[in-house]
Amino acid sequence: MRCAQLASTRTQVVFGAGNADADLMFVGEAPGAKEDERGVPFVGAAGKLLDELLAGVGLAREDVFIANVLKCRPPANRDPLPAEIDNCRDYLLEQVRLIEPRVICTLGNFSTKLLRGDPTGISRLHGQAEIVTIGSRAVRLYPLYHPAAALYTRALLDTLRGDVARLPALLALAPPAQPEPIAAVPAAPEPSDPPAPSWAVPADDDSDGSQLGLF
Write down the pLDDT at residue 148. 95
Taking 50 as the pLDDT cut, the residues of the chain under it are 199, 201, 204-215
Write down the pLDDT at residue 2. 63
pTM listed for this prediction = 0.82
Q: Which tens digits make up the pLDDT trace of 184-198?
A: 566 666 666 665 555
Which is nearest to 168 in space by CA: 213, 214, 200, 129?
129
Q: In what order do the strands lie in the sheet with 137-144?
A: 17-18, 65-68, 24-28, 103-107, 137-144, 130-134
Write down the pLDDT at residue 180. 79
Write down the pLDDT at residue 213. 40
What the chain holds in terms of domains, given with CATH numbers, is: 11-172 (3.40.470.10)
Mapped to the 3 state alphabet, what secondary structure does the chain carry?
CCCHHHHHHCCCCCCCEECCCCCEEEEECCCCHHHHHHCCCCCCHHHHHHHHHHHHCCCCHHHCEEEECCCCCCHHHCCCCHHHHHHHHHHHHHHHHHHCCCEEEEECHHHHHHHHCCCCCHHHHCCCCEEEEECCEEEEEEEECCHHHHCCCHHHHHHHHHHHCCHHHHHHCCCCCCCCCCCCCCCCCCCCCCCCCCCCCCCCCCCCCHHHCCC
